[in-house]
Amino acid sequence: MTVLELRDVHRVHGSGETAVNALDGVSLMVEPGELVAVMGPSGSGKSTLLNLAGGLDSPTSGQVLVDGTSLQSLSRKQLAAWRRKRIGYVFQDLNLIASLTAAENVALPLDLDGVRKSRRQAEHALSEVDLDGYADRFPDEMSGGQQQRVAIARALIGERRLVLADEPTGALDSRTGETVLRLLRSKVDAGAAAVLVTHDARHAAWADRVVFLRDGVVVDVSQRDQPEELLSTP
Amino acid sequence: MIDLNNPLTRGTVTVLEGRAATSTAEVALSRKAMDRTGARLGGTITTEDGRGFTVVGLVEEPGALESTTVVALPGTFPNADQTWLVTTPLDWAKVKELNKLGIVAMSRAVLRDPPSAADRYPQLEGTNELRAEILVLIAGLAVLEMALLAGSALAVGARRRKRDLALVAAVGGAPSHVRRIVLADGVVLGALSALGRRSARLTLAAVLSRPLIESAIEERYGAQRFYPTALAALALLAVVTGLLAALVPAWISSRQDVVTALAGRRGITRSRRRWLVLGLTLVATGVAIGAFTAIRMEIAGILIALIVTEVGLVLCTPALLGLLARAGRWLPVALRIALRDASRNRTAAAPAISAVMTAVIGAVAVSVMLTSQAEQETRKLAGTMGDVTVHRLNDLGKASPTSIPPSVATAIRNTMPAAEVHEIKLLSCNGGSCFAHVRPPADRECPYSRDVINREPTKAEQQAALQDRRCDGVGRSHSYFGTISSPNGFLVVATPDAATTLFDLPHQDIAPTQAALREGKVVVNDPNKVSNGQLLIATGAQATTTPAPAHAVPPSSAPLAMMTEETARTLGFGVAAFTVFATTTRMPTQAEQDALTAALGGGQYEVNVARPTESEVQRSLSILSLVAGVITLAAAALATGLAAADGRRDLTTLAAVGATPGLRKLLSLSQAGVIAGIGGLLGTAAGIGSALALLAALNVGYADRWPQPALNPFTVPWQNILIPLLVIPGVAMLGAALFTRSRLPIERRE
């Protein structure tokens, strides 16, 4: 079953003369085991696409479906529950909650859902991203790469099948960034679906498919190993 | 009684409606007197002696707005106390001359131009100086409170401008530049608040507050004056307070890691051990000063101790927050984040908590002290609050052989929520009531009591009495039946069925006690006064003793003995009427008391209801709770503001991981709760502790006195304390939740 589907999605920010078409009729499908990279210049609508896919924002028109369910049909509370159970986010700026430990950050979606023994699952998730022994450290006591791995562990804890990563390597050095992408790739290979927003063609090369956005429109879609060609396209 | 038509009386009582009385058949009433009597202009009132008066005016006493006042012409009621209003200016020398004649004089000339301290009575020396010291210390406490609140606000501001300040450093600003910027914030805040406060005060004083303040203090303003020098001093104080409040945020901002701040990271906050050590040292010093000065009853010293202790606690608060944050792992997510955020942002959270704590300490400590003192007063009472006594005026001071008529008891039952009604009589000696009591047997009697030495004990005898166990509790005064206060106990004559109430007897003691009374025994509630089945009844100024068969019951609130009329006569005493005493099922209302007075009529009887003198205490407690509440709410609002300034990214993350919209409210609620709750809890604990220490010290101070006053009981007014402990934090939390949008923000990264 398709994990994420965008059907002719439009998103207009503002109104009147100041209206901006952030997305203009975008359609996209992401299947299980597929990593889709979204590329494009600044202001092309990449983050808007991710926010819509995660139910953090609503389209002006069109439909966003996750696991076959239209997100517009859900209330704010239901959307929140949907994010807790099915969607994982990874941000560029290492969005961990500073006052929670690594394990608490990872367990956060489960805690919010009232799951007991979330700590044990969080420790297991941390171990999967090679962070054994870091459970009780606060974000400020970890490096950027370690923090991003905590964010990935949080994005994948439980039974989530969709990971939305917004330039997850933007704040990392190239070596650490590569480690993070390898981790993401391995999770996708294990059955998850992921959308990766990136500016970097080398990072997009980890994807099965690259969607190129410009001015809110999908201008091209390439299969693996083609992003560098796309970037050179005028 | 005053002639309001005489120009000399202008200003003493104001006629609001109608006119002043012009004949002895007319009166003018205050609004409260009208409410109480139900009379209106043109109506009539009747005094206890049956005289009727026409109400011709509504008046107000500018110095006592809430008084129940009836103004009649001089001479309307004979035998009243007299006061003269004189036109002759009285200087200090004339006042002293009048004083020598036993006349109290209040001189406008002396009040306007008071004599020098050296020229005043030596007994009053230093009184004003002490008051000035206390005022300075209270002002110091107020500055500390304001500096804590403003410090919290400035810390929030510095946090918001963290990146700007880092940019200043990045372009070459020295730490001193950064410090000056934040200190300038403090000066601006102080100056703005001074300006705002001054204009607000002038407006409020002129327009709004006057009626409110007049109503609160129950007095009319004599005049409204503005002192430019005082206003300038207050403005300067506000600026200095702002500057003081900015010291810590300025110091911390100047030391921040520039790279961390520019990157938008928050860095790690650690408490400095030296501040904790200094704080603990100050707390210990404050407690020691407090105990020392409380024993010596030095109010200024107690206040200094309070300030030192509070500063110490303020310094300890960051470390305490760090400690509490460690316990966060067992808390729900919202509370955990709030607690740890407060711990991370100690620069702002600690002063906010300290401000709450400081306010609550004061409110709780004073409320415990006031309640304990009120309880101490209650314990002096032989009966219980709400008891009613009716005396026939002629019976006091001379023996009246006849009983009080049964109609009095009937009137009590008809008008009061009476439970039991008993007539109480006294022994009579030599044509008058003898206020008899029971003396202990000679071998158990305190050799320094008035009964033994028939005079006041000397200092040496007092010191000796303190060492003598037989003198414990001797000479402690108790109040009996609304009118009599006795240091020796009291002996009454009544029917056996009154014993249950008078001695507050347990069920199993009722039958034996009543039987003993019928058998002709005297019942006393102190087994120590019974020897070989006998006790000694003391009568007259020389406390002459008469032995009588005795029965002892367990001690109750005040030393008391009783016998029946038959026993009194058997022992050779006469019996005199004294009072009708009633216990009640609840505190009678003033209207019920008035109804009883009216029902008795004729001015022959005096009605007393044992009422707690709590109204003033309660009002003080309410004001203290209100002040503590306002400070707590302000501190909680600042803390929530800090969290809002700092937590936007966290809210985005929470939205992304699926937090419900309500979690944002829950988070705000928890943040306000952490500040108000911790501050309230610490303040309550410290306030109760301070009051306990103070009461204990006062009691230790009593140990040197004889006759020893009743020790201060340690009574915690839980209802009042629950306000700062639960209600105010609850209101702060609800307010924070109410003013927080539930929608979680989305950061756009386009």
The enclosing domain of A67 has a CATH number of 3.40.50.300
Higher pLDDT, B447 or A94: B447
- Does the distance separating the beta carbons of A51 and B655 come in below 8 Å? no
The answer to whether residue B193 is domain-embedded is: no
- Residue A22, helix vs strand vs coil: strand
Q: Which of B118-127, B180-189, B288-297, B303-312 has the lowest mean pLDDT?
A: B118-127
Report yes or no for ipTM above 0.85. Answer: no
- Does the distance separating the beta carbons of A48 and B750 come in below 8 Å? yes
User: Do residues B463 and B568 both lie within one domain?
Assistant: yes
> pLDDT category, B619, cuts 50, 70, 90?
low
Q: Give the helix/strand (H/E) hosting B690.
A: helix B662-702
pLDDT at A183 over 60: yes
- Share of residues in chain B with pLDDT > 90 (%): 16
**CA-CA-CA-CA dihedral for B257, B262, B264, B269, to nearest 10:** 10
User: Do residues B357 and B389 both lie within one domain?
Assistant: no
Instruction: Using CA coordinates, name the residue in chain A closest to B264.
Output: A93
Higher pLDDT, B602 or B563: B563
> Of B609, B629, B648, which marks where a domain is finished?
B609
Complete edge-to-edge strand list for the sheet that includes strand A35-39: A87-90, A162-166, A193-197, A35-39, A209-214, A217-223
Higher pLDDT, A121 or B147: A121
Q: Give the helix/strand (H/E) hosting B429.
A: strand B418-429
Half-sphere exposure of B346 (CA within 13 A, CB side): 22
Q: What is the pLDDT of residues B164-174, one digit of tens each?
A: 888 777 777 78
- Residue A150 tokens read as 């905590």
DSSP 8-state symbol, B53 = E
| Range ranked top by mean pLDDT from A148-152, B41-45, B79-83 | B41-45
Q: Residue B513: what pLDDT?
A: 94
Instruction: Using CA coordinates, name the residue in chain A closest to B745.
Output: A56
Which of chain B's residues have a Cβ under 8 Å away from the Cβ of A80?
Answer: 655, 658-661
As separate numbers, helices (DSSP H) first and strands (DSSP E) second, chain B gives: 25, 18
Q: How many domains does chain A have?
A: 1
Contact B338, B643 (CB under 8 A): yes
pLDDT at B662 over 90: no
Residue among B148, B164, B145 at smallest CA distance from B645? B164
For chain A, the residue count is: 234
Which of chain B's residues have a Cβ under 8 Å away from the Cβ of A98?
Answer: 266, 344, 650
User: Do residues B405 and B504 both lie within one domain?
Assistant: yes
A49 touches B at CB < 8 Å: no
Integer CA distances (angstroms), B56 to A193, B25, B725, in order: 93, 10, 52
- Does the distance separating the beta carbons of A91 and B656 come in below 8 Å? yes
pLDDT at B666 over 50: yes
CA of A63 to nearest chain B CA: how many angstroms apart? 20
Q: What does the buried/exposed string (b/e) look like for B481-508 if buried means 16 or more CB atoms within 10 Å of the residue's CB?
A: bbebebebbbbbbbbbebbbbbbbbeee
**For residues B338 and B666, what is the distance between their CA atoms, to the nearest angstrom?**
10
Complete edge-to-edge strand list for the sheet that includes strand A69-70: A20-30, A4-13, A61-66, A69-70
The answer to whether residue B144 is domain-embedded is: no
User: Do residues B542 and B454 both lie within one domain?
Assistant: yes
User: Do residues B450 and B584 both lie within one domain?
Assistant: yes
By CB neighbour count within 10 A (0-12 exposed, 13-18 middle, 19+ buried), where does B546 fall? middle
For residue A18, what are the domain limits? 4-232
Contact A148, A168 (CB under 8 A): yes
**For residues A217 and A227, what is the distance between their CA atoms, to the nearest angstrom?**
17
**For residues A202 and A227, what is the distance between their CA atoms, to the nearest angstrom?**
8
B262 touches A at CB < 8 Å: no
Q: What is the pLDDT of residues B515-552, one digit of tens each?
A: 999 999 999 999 999 999 999 998 877 778 889 999 99
- Residue B121 tokens read as 């009575």
| Range ranked top by mean pLDDT from A206-215, B232-241, B306-315 | A206-215
**For residues B26 and B73, what is the distance between their CA atoms, to the nearest angstrom?**
8
- Does the distance separating the beta carbons of A166 and B749 come in below 8 Å? yes
Mean pLDDT of B449-464: 85
pLDDT at B397 over 70: no
A107 touches B at CB < 8 Å: no
Contact A67, A86 (CB under 8 A): yes
Per DSSP bridges, beta strands B534-539 and B437-439 are antiparallel
- Residue A226 tokens read as 């083609």
> pLDDT category, B750, cuts 50, 70, 90?
very low
Q: How far apart are the first and last CA of chain B?
A: 85
Q: Return the bridge partners of A23, or none.
A: A11
Nearest to A98 among B266, B659, B743 (CB): B266
pLDDT at B416 over 90: yes
Q: How many CB pairs under 8 A join A and B?
A: 95
Q: Which of B53-62, B117-126, B632-641, B691-700 has the lowest mean pLDDT?
A: B117-126
Mean pLDDT of B225-251: 84
Half-sphere exposure of B685 (CA within 13 A, CB side): 6
Residue among A92, A102, A71 at smallest CA distance from A4? A71
Mean pLDDT of B394-416: 77
The answer to whether residue B308 is domain-embedded is: no
> pLDDT category, B396, cuts 50, 70, 90?
low
User: Do residues B663 and B682 both lie within one domain?
Assistant: yes
Over the Cα atoms of chain A, what is R_g?
17
> pLDDT category, B316, cuts 50, 70, 90?
confident
- Does the distance separating the beta carbons of B653 and A112 come in below 8 Å? no
**For residues B693 and B12, what is the distance between their CA atoms, to the nearest angstrom?**
45
For residue B115, what are the domain limits? 7-119
Q: Residue B621: what pLDDT?
A: 64
Residue among B427, B429, B435, B437 at smallest CA distance from B474? B437
User: Do residues B641 and B704 both lie within one domain?
Assistant: yes
**For residues B682 and A85, what is the distance between their CA atoms, to the nearest angstrom?**
40
pLDDT at B110 over 80: yes
Contact B27, B51 (CB under 8 A): no
> pLDDT category, B402, cuts 50, 70, 90?
low
> pLDDT category, B335, cuts 50, 70, 90?
confident
B114 touches A at CB < 8 Å: no
> Of B554, B580, B609, which marks where a domain is finished?
B609
- One-letter amino acid at B250 equals A
For chain B, the residue count is: 750
Q: Residue A109: what pLDDT?
A: 87
Residue among A174, A100, A109, A102 at smallest CA distance from A142? A102
Half-sphere exposure of A76 (CA within 13 A, CB side): 11
B265 touches A at CB < 8 Å: yes
B657 touches A at CB < 8 Å: yes
Q: Residue B28: what pLDDT?
A: 93
pLDDT at B511 over 80: yes
Average pLDDT score, chain B: 81
* Window B:327-356, CB contacts with A under 8 Å: 329, 332-333, 336-337, 340-341, 343-344
User: Do residues B55 and B85 both lie within one domain?
Assistant: yes
User: Do residues B346 and B454 both lie within one domain?
Assistant: no
**For residues B674 and B342, what is the distance between their CA atoms, to the nearest angstrom?**
8
The answer to whether residue B532 is domain-embedded is: yes
Higher pLDDT, B636 or B353: B353
Mean pLDDT of A56-74: 89
- Does the distance separating the beta carbons of A42 and B750 come in below 8 Å? yes
Contact B380, B542 (CB under 8 A): no
CA of A169 to nearest chain B CA: how many angstroms apart? 15
Q: Residue B747: what pLDDT?
A: 40
Residue among B7, B60, B1 at smallest CA distance from B27? B1
Which of chain B's residues have a Cβ under 8 Å away from the Cβ of A48?
Answer: 748, 750
A42 touches B at CB < 8 Å: yes
**For residues B362 and B27, what is the distance between their CA atoms, to the nearest angstrom?**
46
User: Do residues B354 and B452 both lie within one domain?
Assistant: no
Contact B357, B679 (CB under 8 A): yes
Report CA B128 to chain centroid distance, whole Å.
22
CA of B635 to nearest chain A CA: how many angstroms apart? 21
Integer CA distances (angstroms), B645 to A138, B157, B261, B651, in order: 21, 9, 14, 11
- Does the distance separating the beta carbons of A99 and B658 come in below 8 Å? no
pLDDT at A233 over 60: no
Query: Which residues make Cβ contacts (< 8 Å) with residue B184, sequence separation at least 6?
Result: none
Higher pLDDT, B709 or B743: B709
Mean pLDDT of B679-707: 81
Average pLDDT score, chain A: 84
Q: What is the pLDDT of residues B49-87, one digit of tens each?
A: 778 899 999 999 888 888 888 999 988 887 677 788 888
The answer to whether residue B95 is domain-embedded is: yes
Which of chain B's residues have a Cβ under 8 Å away from the Cβ of A87?
Answer: 658
CA of B676 to nearest chain A CA: how many angstroms apart? 20
B259 touches A at CB < 8 Å: no
Q: Residue A234: what pLDDT?
A: 42
Report CA B301 to chain centroid distance, whole Å.
20
pLDDT at B264 over 80: no
pTM given for the model: 0.66
SS3 content of chain B, % helix, strand, coil (to 5): 55, 15, 30
> pLDDT category, A194, cuts 50, 70, 90?
very high
User: Do residues B644 and B670 both lie within one domain?
Assistant: yes
**For residues B520 and B523, what is the distance between their CA atoms, to the nearest angstrom?**
9
Integer CA distances (angstroms), B690 to B316, B520, B734, in order: 17, 52, 30
- Residue A160, helix vs strand vs coil: coil
Mean pLDDT of B286-312: 79
Mutate to test the interface with B, among A21, A57, A99 (most CBs of B within 10 A): A99
Nearest to A81 among B332, B658, B743 (CB): B658
> pLDDT category, B193, cuts 50, 70, 90?
confident
- Does the distance separating the beta carbons of B652 and A95 come in below 8 Å? yes
- Peptide bond preceding B707 in cis form (omega within 30 of 0): yes
* Window A:50-79, CB contacts with B under 8 Å: 51, 54, 56-57, 76-77
Half-sphere exposure of A190 (CA within 13 A, CB side): 13
> pLDDT category, A90, cuts 50, 70, 90?
confident
**For residues A136 and A119, what is the distance between their CA atoms, to the nearest angstrom?**
11
**For residues B680 and B723, what is the distance between their CA atoms, to the nearest angstrom?**
9
- Does the distance separating the beta carbons of A96 and B658 come in below 8 Å? no
> Of B54, B86, B119, which marks where a domain is finished?
B119
B100 touches A at CB < 8 Å: no
- Residue B512 tokens read as 């034996």
- Residue A145 tokens read as 């790469």
Q: Residue B748: what pLDDT?
A: 40
DSSP 8-state symbol, B64 = B
Q: How many domains does chain B have?
A: 3
User: Do residues B622 and B739 both lie within one domain?
Assistant: yes
**For residues B613 and B646, what is the distance between their CA atoms, to the nearest angstrom?**
50
